[in-house]
């Protein structure tokens, strides 16, 4: 099976079947504008053509194992052809109509994975406990967006103004470190941002990194039309190494230089992500260090209350500690936002992806150990 997004294969198919170029455009529109993922539903193409396409091409290169929903999120558990499981999460941002006081869906964000699990090992993250299984390829990454948009179409239909509900923001904040798989994520950008495809603005696609030099250097050099978030989590090298073990190979001083280079090259601000963990990185002196580090930089700090889970013995910062931290950093003229938590119920929140896989792997280890003791 070929990927429908392999231009050479598609062009060869077009020539072999003596199709006009506009047929390719129709195909692209079916997937990227009308959110169709089944060739049989592309009724503007003839039956024979649909059948030929089905024999040679695929749109989604993975299966769907489970879908878990709560009021705020939908979590997809996908399975690749080589049997690896990975997750993506839809987040539903709502607002209350000031006149009717009725809560309504406002926009939808999709958080996607770029690797199956992760080697960075952040101490607060379930995915990091699993270790790295593999880099995902372009079609597995893009397929998450295509599948999610089809899901939204079926779940929400059209808005009051008859335009479609679709993914409005895409964040590479799911499983994995995107800049350790930069070659594959960068080839998805044209599909996300070009008007021939989804046509999302650069502000609506965000790559989030824990700070990996080679990937960051390549990213800055390419200057792709997407935004950058840096998961900093600590304002000094020692604390950062404790929270983000991979950080011992990628020094904070150099990472901050690279952030400055990025701002200069792209003209964009950097979003700094900071998970708030009780008595780990939420103390007032740490807030002062964070304020000093970010002052005079083109920066926006997002504070993310830690999402607790039974697999990790850490606690979320108290609301009072978060408020104090925010106030201190703001006193250095840095813009700070406290992120709303979403998806805790279904373990879909930041740092919780892979919870079911981790539970399963621990269960297997226990069974093996028990069998060993009994033998």
Q: Which positions lie near ligand SF4, rule CB under 6 A?
A: 118, 120-122, 125, 127-128, 175-177, 210, 351
Residue with tokens 């089905």: 54
Q: Are 90 and 67 in contact (CB under 8 A)?
A: no
Nearer to ligand SF4, 121 or 291 (CB): 121
3-state helix, strand, coil split of the chain in percent (to 5) is 40, 25, 35
Nearer to ligand SF4, 50 or 339 (CB): 339
Bridge-based pairing of strands 227-231 and 205-209 is parallel
Rounded to whole angstroms, the Cα distance separating 133 from 116 reads: 5
Nearer to ligand SF4, 128 or 235 (CB): 128
What DSSP designation does 364 have?
A: H
- Could you write out the DSSP letters of every residue in 279-302? TTT-SHHHHHHHHHHHTTSSEEEE
Please report how close the Cβ of residue 297 comes to ligand SF4 at its closest, in angstroms. 22
276: tokens are: 């708030």
Nearer to ligand SF4, 174 or 291 (CB): 174
Please report how close the Cβ of residue 166 comes to ligand SF4 at its closest, in angstroms. 25
Please report how close the Cβ of residue 116 comes to ligand SF4 at its closest, in angstroms. 11
Nearer to ligand SF4, 149 or 273 (CB): 273
Please report how close the Cβ of residue 24 comes to ligand SF4 at its closest, in angstroms. 36
71: tokens are: 């009021």
Q: Quick one: how far is CA 15 from the chain centroid?
A: 37
Please report how close the Cβ of residue 118 comes to ligand SF4 at its closest, in angstroms. 3
Q: Quick one: how far is CA 179 from the chain centroid?
A: 12
Q: Are 53 and 59 in contact (CB under 8 A)?
A: no
Nearer to ligand SF4, 19 or 259 (CB): 259
Rounded to whole angstroms, the Cα distance separating 249 from 261 reads: 20
Rounded to whole angstroms, the Cα distance separating 147 from 129 reads: 27
The number of beta carbons lying within 10 Å of the beta carbon of residue 301 is 23
Nearer to ligand SF4, 23 or 282 (CB): 282
Q: Of 217, 301, 230, 300, whose CA–CA distance to 265 is shortest? A: 217
Backbone angles phi, psi at 304, to 5 degrees: -115, 105
Active-site residues: which are they?
A: 87, 350
Distance from the first to the final alpha carbon of the chain: 46
What DSSP designation does 124 have?
A: T
Q: Quick one: how far is CA 210 from the chain centroid?
A: 13
Please report how close the Cβ of residue 275 comes to ligand SF4 at its closest, in angstroms. 8
Please report how close the Cβ of residue 235 comes to ligand SF4 at its closest, in angstroms. 18
Rounded to whole angstroms, the Cα distance separating 320 from 334 reads: 19
Q: Which single residue brings its beta carbon nearest to ligand SF4?
A: 128
Rounded to whole angstroms, the Cα distance separating 164 from 272 reads: 32
């Amino acid at each position: 099976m070929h990927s429908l997004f392999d231009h050479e294969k598609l062009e060869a198919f077009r020539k072999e079947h003596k199709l006009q170029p506009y047929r390719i455009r129709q195909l692209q529109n079916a997937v990227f504008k009308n959110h169709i993922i089944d060739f049989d539903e592309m009724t503007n193409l003839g039956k024979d053509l649909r059948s030929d396409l089905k024999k040679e091409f695929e749109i989604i290169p993975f299966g769907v194992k489970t879908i878990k929903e709560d009021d705020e999120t939908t979590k997809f558990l996908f399975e690749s052809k080589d049997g690896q499981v990975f997750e993506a999460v839809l987040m539903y941002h709502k607002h209350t109509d000031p006149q009717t006081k009725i809560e309504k869906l406002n926009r939808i964000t999709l958080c996607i994975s770029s690797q199956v699990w992760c080697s960075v090992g952040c101490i607060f993250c379930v995915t990091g406990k699993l270790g790295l299984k593999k880099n995902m390829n372009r079609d597995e990454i893009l397929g998450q967006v295509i599948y999610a948009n089809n899901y939204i179409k079926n779940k929400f239909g059209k808005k009051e103004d008859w335009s479609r509900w679709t993914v409005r923001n895409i964040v590479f904040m799911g499983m994995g470190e995107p800049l350790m798989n930069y070659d594959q994520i960068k080839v998805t950008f044209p599909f996300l941002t070009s008007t021939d495809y989804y046509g999302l603005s650069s502000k609506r696609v965000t790559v989030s990194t824990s700070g990996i030099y080679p990937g960051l250097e390549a990213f800055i050099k390419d200057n792709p039309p997407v935004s950058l978030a840096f998961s900093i989590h600590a304002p000094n090298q020692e604390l950062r190494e404790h929270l983000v073990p991979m950080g011992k190979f990628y020094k904070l001083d150099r990472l901050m230089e690279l952030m400055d280079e990025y701002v200069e090259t792209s003209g964009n601000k950097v979003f700094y992500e900071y998970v708030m963990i009780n008595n780990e990185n939420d103390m007032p002196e740490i807030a002062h260090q964070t304020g000093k580090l970010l002052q005079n930089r083109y920066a926006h700090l997002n504070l993310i209350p830690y999402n607790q889970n039974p697999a990790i013995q850490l606690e979320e910062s108290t609301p009072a500690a978060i408020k104090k931290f925010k106030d201190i950093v703001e006193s250095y003229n840095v813009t700070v936002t406290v992120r709303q938590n979403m998806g805790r119920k279904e373990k879909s929140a930041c740092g919780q992806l892979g919870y079911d896989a981790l539970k399963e792997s621990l269960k297997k280890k226990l069974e093996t150990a028990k069998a060993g003791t009994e033998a």
